[in-house]
Each structure stands twice: as C-alpha cells, then as structure tokens.
Amino acid sequence: MTTRFFGAPVKRNEDRKLLTGQGLFIDDVELPDMLHAAFLRSHVAHARIRRIDVSKALKRPGVTAVYTAADLGAYWKPGPILVPPPPIEGSIFNERTQVPLAKDKVRHVGEPLAVVVADNRYIAEDALDDIVVDLEILPAVVDCEDALKTATHVHDDLGSNISAHVRQTKGDYRRAAANAHLILKRRFLYEHGISSPIETRGVVAQWNARGAQMTIWDTTQAPVFVRNGLAAMLGLGERQVRVIAPFVGGGFGPKIMMFYPEEVVLPWISMRLNRPVKWIEDRLEHFFATTHERGQIHDAEIALAADGRILGIKDVFLHDTGAYDPYGLTVPINSQCTLLGPYVVPDYDSTFTAVFTNLPIVTPYRGAGRQHGVFVMERLLDLAAHELKIDPAEIRRRNLIPPDAFPYKNEIIYQDFEPLEYDSGNYEPVLDKALEAIGYKQFIGEEQAKLRAQGRCVGIGVACYVEGTGIGPYEGAKVQVQSNGKVNVATGIGTQGQGHFTSFAQIVADELGVDVTDVDIVTGDTDQFYWGAGTFASRGAVVAGTAVSEASRAVRKKALKLASDAFECSEEDLVLADGKVSIAGIAQKFIRLGDLAERANPMRGAVAPGTEPGLESTQYFGPPMGATSNGVHAVIVEVDPQTFDLKILKYVVVHDCGTVINPMILAGQIHGGVAQGIGNAFYEKLSFDDQGQLLNASLADYLLPTALEVPRMELDHTVTPSPLNPLGIKGAGEAGAIPVGPLFAQAIEDALDLKRKEVELLEIPLSPSRLFELTRKARKK
Amino acid sequence: MKPAPFRYIAASSLDHALALKAEHGDEARFLAGGQSLIPAMNFRLARPSVLIDINGLGELARVEAAEGGEIRVGALARYHSLERDSRFLTDCPLFADALPHIAHPQIRNRGTIGGNLSHADPASELPAIAVAMQARMRIKSAKGERQIAASEFFQGLLTTDIQVDEMLVEIAFPAQPARTGHCFLEVARRRGDFALAGVAASVTADALGRCSRVRLALCGVSETPVDASSAAASLIGQACTGEAVEAVAVEVQSMIAPSGNVHASPDYQRHIAGVLVQRAISAAHSRVGNAA
Amino acid sequence: MQPERHDIELSVNGTVYRRAVESRTLLSDFLRHDLELAGTHVGCEHGVCGACTILLDGAPIRSCLMLAVQANGHELSTVEGLAGNDGELHPVQQAMHDHHGLQCGYCTPGILMTMTAYLKQNPQPTEHELREALSGNLCRCTGYQNIVDAMLSAAQIMRAAAP
C-alpha cells in the first residue's frame, strides 16, 4: 500500500455539510404526523409512588396520550445488563438495572414517572404540570460511606446498598510492605463530572404498521446493540428494526449507555399510536436523565524502596454507581487497572465496593474511571517524591516499565475480561520529550525562582498515564467499489465528531488508489451494516479502522485479480492509482476501478464458482485484547495567592498511540480531551444536597471551560506500533482527559509552595474557594 | 424547556405599557431584553400570563446629559450601546470596568440596564454601581411617577421597590466630583459568570493624594448590593496607604455576612471581598486625575 | 380555545417570510421547525451555550432567548446564509475546514455567526481578544485551539481581501 493519505493531516470529508448547517442531527428529523413526547420526572431522589393521576393531562387539548408504567404492561421490565461482571474470582455483583418508567419507587431525581405525547413539545410540557403525583418521600442516600452504613436501601430487596465488591491482587502486597523503606497512606477523593455534550440526547421512533418496520433515530454511540435490544423487547425480528445514529453532537460515553428509558418507551409509543414520535432531551433533563460519572473515595497505601521504586500498592475504594448499575463494573475496574499506570508495580492489592446511591446512574464518560486510578497513583508518587527528596519527574522515570518488558503482564482482569496486558510501549522517551517541551530543568532551575522573586506563584506539574484502548469484541466493515468509481464503506459504529468519515476514507484511499474525497463512509445505520459494537473505550480507529483496512485489502486483491485476468498479466505488474488499475510503466493500458466493478457484475456470462460478484468485501476484526497507549502531560500554572484563581501558562502533551492515521484529527482529540480534563480538575462539580437534589443543574452553574479557560497546547508524539493489528494503531480518544486532575494538584501545590506549608491536595475537583479553605490551616500557623 | 402559555402584547407606547400593567398586575411582566426573563420562563420558574413587550419604546433607550452634569439613562438602553457610548463611559467610568463582565456580547446585544436593575440579582454588577454612584431611579405608573434613591430601591433577593403597576423608566447618575478615580473589580469563576464578589470604588482625592470622599459598594455578598462607604470613613483626610486600605477591607469584611453558594464558601466570599476592596480602592485612587 | 397567533414578517438571509406564530414560540424553534432552517442548533435554552447564536440586524444574539414574534420587522442571518450562492464557503467556514475547527459540528453554526459579526467589528484581533469573543460559545469537542487558529487565519484572509 503506497501511503498518500494515511498518516497525513487530511482535511475532513464531513466538514462542508456541518459548516453549512446541512448535517442531520436528531432534532432535524421531521416526519409527517409526528407527535412529541415529554417525560414527567421525579423531583425527589427517593420515594415510594403511591399514585400517579394523569386524568387532567389527558383532557388537555393537543395531548394524544399519557402513559405510566402500568400502561406498559408486560413490556415493562428492567433493562438488560450491558456489561456483565468480568470473571474475577470472589467478586460480588448485584445487578439492578434501570426501568422504562418508575413503578412503585423512584430512586433518583429525574427518574421518569410518566410520558406525555402531544402535538408539540410546548403542549407536552404544559401537560406535565397537569399530572398529579403522590409520593411518600424517603430519606435519600447520597454519600458513599453513608450508603454502607444506612438502613435506607436504594433497592429494598437487596438488604444493603452494595452493588459490587471486587478484589484483585497481583503478587502479595504484604511482601512489599514488609520490605519497604517508606510506606505512605492517604485518603483521596476524586470526582469526575458529566459529559455535557452541546447536543443533548434524542430519540425519534417511527413504526410502519403495514410494512411491520420500525425505524429509530437515536443519538446513540451503539446503533447495532440498540437495534438488537429493542427488536427483542418489541417482539420484532432484528431485520424489522432499523436504528440510525445521525450526526451526533458529541458522545463522550454516556450516549452509549443503553437502554435509556426514552429509548425503550418511544418505539413502544409509536407502535401503540401508529404514528412517529419524537423526544428531544432538554438541557435541564440532561443533568438527570443522561448518565454521569461521579466520585470515588480511595484509601491507598504505597510501599517504596529508598530510591523511590514502587514495591507495592494497596488500595481500598468506594465507588458511587448511582441508583442502578447497568454498566456492570467497567468504571471501577478501569480505575483499578489504570492505577498501575506505566509503572512497574510488583505487588498490588486493590479492593473496591460499588455502592448504590439515590443519584443518577454512573456509566463511562471519557476516561471511564481511569482518571480516578491515575489520580491516586500520581499523587502517591508526588507524596513519595517529597518524602524521599526525589524530583517528581525523576521518581516517575525510575518506575517506568522498561521498553524490553513488553508485552507487559499486569495479571489483574481488565474491562475487556482479559488479564491486563500492555501490548507495547516505550515510555521514557515520552517523558523526556514532555520535560524538554515544558522546559522542566530550566523552570525548576531558574525560571521559577525568578518569578517567585517577583511575587508570582508559579508551579510545574508532570503526570504520566496509560490508556487501555481498542478492545473487542469486534467491528466490521464493508467496502464496495461502485460503477462510478466511488467507494462506499459501511461500518457498524457511530460517529460523534471523531472524523471517521475521513480517517477511514484515508485507509481505503491508499489501499485502492482513489482520492480520499471519493470514499463515502456510512456509519451508524443498521440497515447499511448489520454487525458491530459501537464507539467507546477509544476503539473506533483501532477496531473499525482495522476492519476497514482488511476489507479494503480484500477489495484490492479482487481488483488486481480481475485486472490481471483482463490484461492477461501477472498481478505484480499492476498499479492501483488515481482510481485506475494499470500496467506498471504502460500508462495507456488501464481500466477504471468503476468499470472493473461493473465488469465484475456481468449481465451475461457467469461469476466463477468460489468468487463473488462486484468489487466488494466485508471483513471483521476482533482484537484478542486491548492496545495500550500512553502519554505524559506537563503544565506550568500561575495561582493568584489572594484569590486562588489559576492561569495556565504552558501546557504540553506528548502521546503515543502507535501508528497515526490522521495527525490533525488526533490533535483535535487531544485538545478536546484536555479541555474536558481542565473542566474536571478545576471548574466542573456536581453539587448535590443531602436530599439528592442537584443545586447547579444549569450551564450557568455547571461550569464548562470556555476559550478563556482552555490554553493553547503544545503536542508531540512518539510512535510505538501495536502488534495487535496490522496497521499498528492504538486508540487516543480519551487520552487528553485522563491525567489532568493530578497534574493540576501537583502544579498548584508547587505554585503555592504547599508542601512546605504541609497542605496536601488530595481531591479533585479543586476551585479557588476550595484552595482557600484547604490552605487556611496553613495560614493560621 | 419551553415557556408556559401567555398572551403577548407589543406595547405601542409607554402609556399603553403602563395601562396594561395596571390592568393585569402581577400576572403581567414587562419584556425588555429578555436575557433574564426568558431563561426563567423557559425553566418555567417565571410564568406570567401576559408579556408586555416594551422593546418598541425607543424613547426609553436614550442617554442624555442633564443639568449639573447628571447623566440620565433610559431603562431600555442596552449594554451594547452603553459599551460604545464614550461620553457615557467617561461620565460613568465604573461601567467601563463592569460592562465587559456582564455575560457575553450576545447577551449584551439585547440586555438592558433597566432590566438588570429591576431583576436585582444579588450577584449583578450594576446594582452595586448604582448604589456606589448614588443613582436615582425614576419609576412610572399609569398614575404618575416618582423617584427613589438606589440605596432604597434594592430591597431584598430579586426584589426592588417597583410596585405591581410600575416600571423603572430611567436611572439618573449624578455628576462625579472632580478629581475622582473609579474602579470596579470582581471575582467570577469564568468571564461573564455571576460575580462571587464585586466591588465598586470611587475615590476623590486632593493633589496630595488625601481622600476627601470614598464611595464603596459590593455585589454578590448579600441579597442586595451593600453600601460599604462608611467602612472607608477611616480614609477621609488620609492618603491611601496599603495599611489604611487594608483597614478598610477588614472593616468591610466585618460588615458583610455572605451566605456562600455552589461556587464559593461564605468565608471565601468574605475573603475576596476584602481583597477586592483593597485592589479597587488602590486602583481608583491611582486613577484620580485621569479624567478631566 | 386556540392559542393566539401573531402575523409576522421578517427576512432571513435575504429572503422575506410571512408567518403566523404563537406568542410563546421561541425564535430558535421558529427558525428550525417553521422555516426549516435547521442549521441553527439548540443546546441549552437558557442562553449560555451559544449554539443557537444568529445575527439580528447584524448583531449576534441567542435565538433561544427571543420570541419569534419579536423578530417581526427584523433582518436575521443564520448559518445557511453564509456560503455564496455558488456554494463557495465564507472565509470563516473555509478556515474552520482548513484548521479542523470542528469535530461534531453541533456548536459550529453558533460560532460561525458569532465570529462573522465579531471579525467585522474587529478585523485584527489578538489571540486573547479572539478568545474573549469566543468565550460565549461553548464547545465540548475541540478545546477551542483550532477554532482560534481558524479565526485568526480567516481574519487575515478577510483583511487581505478587503478593498
């Protein structure tokens, strides 16, 4: 394959549509006779439902129907578990999944109680006010530690609030502790926030009774799974259901959660009323109705040798899973595994208890629990560095897994159900590049002292992480050359801005010798491609990309075979370029790829046995395990010593995600991830009161970073290809977001000289007010 | 998040608007810029049955100089136009500092000073400036008109002295004494966000730097803007040394009892109020003599 | 009883429309669903995210904070009107493409409208000024850097092309 597009910063095929406002997003779906739904949601976090009276709502002009759980009859059932618990010995998992409409009990603010179907959303919302709900309010469980002690149970039949309990070990931590020169123990609090994409969720369901066909538009990251699940629920065959994920305005994880109540209820309504129905989540709903990530409490201990080498880590943590646990153990297992980072940790003992709370469901959001683990490890190393008087970058260097140790086995089970194994990596050059780019030596050596002498509080931070990416089960792709010479590609994943329409086209273009703009990619339409899993866990490029590559290669082979038959020459003599197959050196002897495709679908003659018509191939790729990317972030910050506000002076990311398909798209992913990381570290905090009410359910008070909070970033990368797929690619979607919390903590501690003042930053998010509170003890001394 | 149903009436004149308000009372709201009212209606926190659109009343948008150097600003003057009115900004320099902190340009293209002051959000900058400048509010109803000092106009959380049949039509800012420097500063989480605390300071000083008059008002630390001018009494006759200004800050901190919010603890608010008082007074003092 | 309707006449991207609208129909919904100009997106309906930004008589405003009835007699510009009749992209659109200033594309129309107005008013912004002007539009995908680069580049191109 001659690479013309692969690896190049090719501009995106999908841009024109989006730039001219012509991209179809969910709320752009307009169907004749369409009705609009609005959900009545609980205003309290925990209550028994005594009665729901919809009679007044039914009488409102413009209202077609109002449904509660009772109306759903046998259709009502808790959703399927999405990710069953990995096979970890001794683990406990109590499956309690969300329901389409609350019956008997509500378990979090925002849980849907009823749905109104009306001529438009305005009237539907009017009708919500007509519904009378009689609730017996119960105390709310909102705190993880409290959840373990309280007699109030989110799920009455469970007898406790325990969702899961898992212990994983590697080696024997007691050995590490016994041999340690230093043991440090701390409690860490890490809260991740909500994804808050600029586009909220939405579902449009259209039942065609005569054709017995259901079409669903859904802002999902996993259209194939949604199709399969809804078909089963609706009692339809999979081929009777088509799920289309149109342009989706940002996914980040929570849009792969399924089956949301709205996904389950809308198709049912459409079948019942035999009319199309639309539901668009508004921003207020989004704070409750779309899943969150939230907090963990870690009691962690690290055992070190005198030179700063890690001998072992022991960690016991609580994980808030919210009112239900449809996503199994994915988030806390990611925390558990990713804590190990790029470091050699001979002995590891990690236990977590996931607890139910009366808060919205927790499912993966960009980073998917990795942030929490990385925070613990990076902070432990910083604390150790201070105790042992080793430079923070140096202590990390000393612990990095050496380049000859790959594949590196960490033994414990990862979210892909396989023992955690890093496929490849070369960590030290990444650290070196980051230190060089941020000017580490120079800053520590002279800059910082100079600026401090001017009264400026400046500090530096360095954080390392790995990111498990590209997990299975599989993806597939169908590549087909059309008679007009354009190439169609279909794959089962969806797209939420990652540039699949371009990156996949680059792969095909190089393989088939066509222009990247002549490759049309279809994602997210289950009628176009039947099989797949979805975009999550930084796997799109790796898994679907590989499938696209395999399918392209197969098509290339077919083209060469056909052409070699036509020209009566050997395949080695042929060149695929500029949309043509030609004989090398004899430019006039060519056939257009499109014409070749047409030839391959003859009106007369025969298609030889063992071959297929057309220039088309469908291939699948299922990686045996995930590929591990890694990176280092470095930052220089300035903190106002009076207001404690923070300015980022310099931000560097060095990343290794193996072979890069499109460096421009990759950079965009890093930028966006870092922006979310900055939000997580210093701006975004869900403020719940003790009754489970969210006090800042608006974008005025849930603070997303703007162009003034996100700095210019300098990016660099190294390339350590993955041996797990032919192209050597690893995922990169979540990398930017993962280490920003500990990075900020380290840099702020440095800026405010907190180590000397004996103040430790062991929590995220931080904020000026929080820094003020945490440092006041030091001021009092 | 769609608003509840209402009747919409575009007022054809001020009298028309006031007559409608008199007729519908509490059930009706005036629609000016809508940048506070419409979000509230979209959240269904506000549900007027009648919306009286006053955006057509151009006569309420004028900014005029009056006798004695007083500036009269029509309630319907939009932030955007005030930002570009160099004469207004020269006469009311606190606005020059504060206007860029109000939300974002898209909001400032519609929002009005009258809407802001009538809404009386405790974290809003303009009420504090009105108090610092000792502005007078002119309020009209179908029955007549009256004036009230800014200090009495703001009465509680989102509550002003405007009665059910009244509209704020004009704000009069008295001329500023010669040799006065002004500074408005705030701390917010992001540019344009609600102030966690804000300070408006105007310092009049002689050629030797001795203060003869200090006006000081805070936003964001109480349900209404706080007139803290009395806390600066110790500065009168004195130069604005670091120590002297710090003493004022401490005094201000003892005067206020902030309740905190999701972004700031009460003590943090109190702390930055003190920081901002020092910074604002020092800056205002250093700007004395900048204006004519 | 039917809700009251108001007859309005407005121009959008140079085309005059006459419609009857309900009192409470938001301008954002009117543009998207009545006029089928779905390029303007809705992100929050409380004036913060900026996705719904359009130009009202040349000035950027939040269409979710205005009633359709209020647009009577005004000239609106939306993203659909940016490209030339021949399909040639406006410099800000082209620059966003060249600099990868969009990923999911949802916030993009609001940013384009904000920026066309801003660059007219300030043709030679510094990076900081540009970021200030951009701070009223939230993006969750790009981290803003490429948008800033795109707009600085567009500004330069537009300055060079100006008479």
- With an 8 Å Cβ cutoff, are B4 and C24 in contact? yes
Residue listed under structure tokens 């870690």:
A298
Are B73 and B171 in contact by the 8 Å Cβ rule? The answer is yes
Reading the block at residue A242, the tokens are 């088509």
Report the neighbours of A using a cutoff of 3 or more CB pairs below 8 angstroms.
B, C
- CATH number for region A141-195+291-400: 3.30.365.10
Q: Which CATH number fits domain A472-621: 1.20.120.1760, 3.30.365.10, 1.10.3260.10, 3.40.50.720?
A: 3.30.365.10
- Report the alpha-carbon distance of residue B66 to residue B170 in Å, rounded: 13
Least CA distance to B7: which residue of chain C? C23
Instruction: Assign a CATH topology to domain A421-468+627-781.
Output: Aldehyde Oxidoreductase; domain 4 (3.30.365)
Output the domain CATH number for residue C63.
3.10.20.30
Q: What is the predicted pLDDT for the residue at A388?
A: 98
Going from N- to C-terminal start, the domains of chain B cover 7-53, 58-173, 180-286
Residue listed under structure tokens 């009691």:
A299
Structural domain boundaries, residue C143: 91-161
Instruction: Assign a CATH topology to domain B58-173.
Output: 3.30.465
pTM of the predicted structure, to 2 decimals: 0.97
Least CA distance to C129: which residue of chain B? B100
Going from N- to C-terminal start, the domains of chain A cover 141-195+291-400, 196-289, 421-468+627-781, 472-621
Residues of A in contact with C55 (CB under 8 A): none
Interface list for C 123-152 with A (CB within 8 A): 127, 130-132, 134-148
C96 and C74 in a single domain? The answer is: no
Residues of B in contact with A63 (CB under 8 A): none
C44 and C22 in a single domain? The answer is: yes
Q: Is B145 helix (H, G, I), strand (E, B) or coil?
A: strand
- With an 8 Å Cβ cutoff, are B55 and C70 in contact? yes
Residues of B in contact with A695 (CB under 8 A): 262
- With an 8 Å Cβ cutoff, are C47 and B6 in contact? no
With CA atoms as reference, report the closest residue to B241 among B213, B202, B210.
B210
Q: Is A19 helix (H, G, I), strand (E, B) or coil?
A: helix
B212 touches chain C (CB under 8 A): no
- Report the alpha-carbon distance of residue B222 to residue B199 in Å, rounded: 12
Mean pLDDT by 10 residues, chain A (781 residues): 84 96 97 98 98 98 98 97 91 97 98 98 98 98 97 97 97 98 98 98 97 97 94 96 97 95 98 98 98 98 98 98 96 96 98 98 96 98 98 98 96 88 97 98 98 98 94 91 96 89 93 95 92 86 91 95 91 93 90 93 80 91 91 98 97 96 95 98 98 97 98 97 93 93 98 93 98 87 56
Report the neighbours of C using a cutoff of 3 or more CB pairs below 8 angstroms.
A, B
Q: Is A760 helix (H, G, I), strand (E, B) or coil?
A: coil
Domain boundary, last residue among C50, C81, C112: C81
Mean pLDDT of B22-26: 98
C107 touches chain A (CB under 8 A): yes
Q: What is the predicted pLDDT for the residue at C1?
A: 62
Residues ≥6 apart with Cβ < 8 Å to A111: A41, A42, A102, A288, A323
Q: What is the DSSP string of A573-616?
A: GEEEETTEEEETTEEEEEEEHHHHHHHTS-SSS-PPTT--SSEE
- Provide the ipTM: 0.98
Q: What is the pLDDT of residues A319-333, one digit of tens each?
A: 999 999 999 999 999
Select the residue of A19, A247, A713 nearest C96 (Cβ to Cβ). Answer: A19
Q: What is the predicted pLDDT for the residue at C126?
A: 98
Classify domain A196-289 at the CATH class level: alpha beta
Helix, strand, coil in percent for chain B, rounding step 5: 40, 25, 35
Looking at beta carbons, which pairs linking A440-446 to residues 24 or more positions away fall under 8 Å? A440/A393, A440/A634, A443/A636, A444/A391
Cβ pairs B/C, distance under 8 A = 88
C20 and C67 in a single domain? The answer is: yes
Mean pLDDT lowest among A625-629, B133-137, B139-143, C108-112: A625-629
Gap from C121 CA to chain A (nearest CA, Å): 19
C112 and C151 in a single domain? The answer is: yes
Q: Which CATH architecture has domain B180-286?
A: 2-Layer Sandwich (3.30)
Report the neighbours of B using a cutoff of 3 or more CB pairs below 8 angstroms.
A, C
Whether residue B292 has pLDDT greater than 50: no
- Report the alpha-carbon distance of residue C99 to residue C157 in Å, rounded: 13
- With an 8 Å Cβ cutoff, are B53 and C114 in contact? no
C143 and C77 in a single domain? The answer is: no
Select the residue of A21, A198, A704 nearest C39 (Cβ to Cβ). Answer: A21
Gap from C23 CA to chain B (nearest CA, Å): 5
Q: What is the pLDDT of residues C40-73, one digit of tens each?
A: 999 999 999 999 999 999 999 999 999 999 999 9
Residues of C in contact with A18 (CB under 8 A): 102, 105, 108
Residue C41: inside a domain? yes
Asked: is B7-53 a CATH 1.10.540.10 domain? The reply is: no
Mean pLDDT of B195-214: 96
C77 and C20 in a single domain? The answer is: yes
Taking the CA atoms of residue A589, residue A593, residue A595 and residue A599 in that order, the dihedral angle to the nearest 10 degrees is 100
Residue C45: inside a domain? yes
Are A547 and A490 in contact by the 8 Å Cβ rule? The answer is no
Tally of structural domains, chain C: 2
- With an 8 Å Cβ cutoff, are A121 and B2 in contact? yes
Cβ pairs A/B, distance under 8 A = 62
Q: What average pLDDT is seen over chain C?
A: 97
- Report the alpha-carbon distance of residue C24 to residue B46 in Å, rounded: 13
- With an 8 Å Cβ cutoff, are B105 and C136 in contact? yes
Q: What is the pLDDT of residues A9-56, one digit of tens each?
A: 999 999 999 999 999 999 999 999 999 999 999 999 999 999 999 999
What 8-state DSSP symbol labels residue A67? E
Q: What is the predicted pLDDT for the residue at A607?
A: 80
B4 touches chain C (CB under 8 A): yes
Least CA distance to A669: which residue of chain C? C142
Residue C86: inside a domain? no
Select the residue of C33, C135, C146 nearest A706 (Cβ to Cβ). Answer: C135
Q: What is the predicted pLDDT for the residue at A39?
A: 98
Least CA distance to C26: which residue of chain B? B2
A706 touches chain B (CB under 8 A): yes
Percent above pLDDT 70 for chain C: 99
- With an 8 Å Cβ cutoff, are A707 and C89 in contact? no
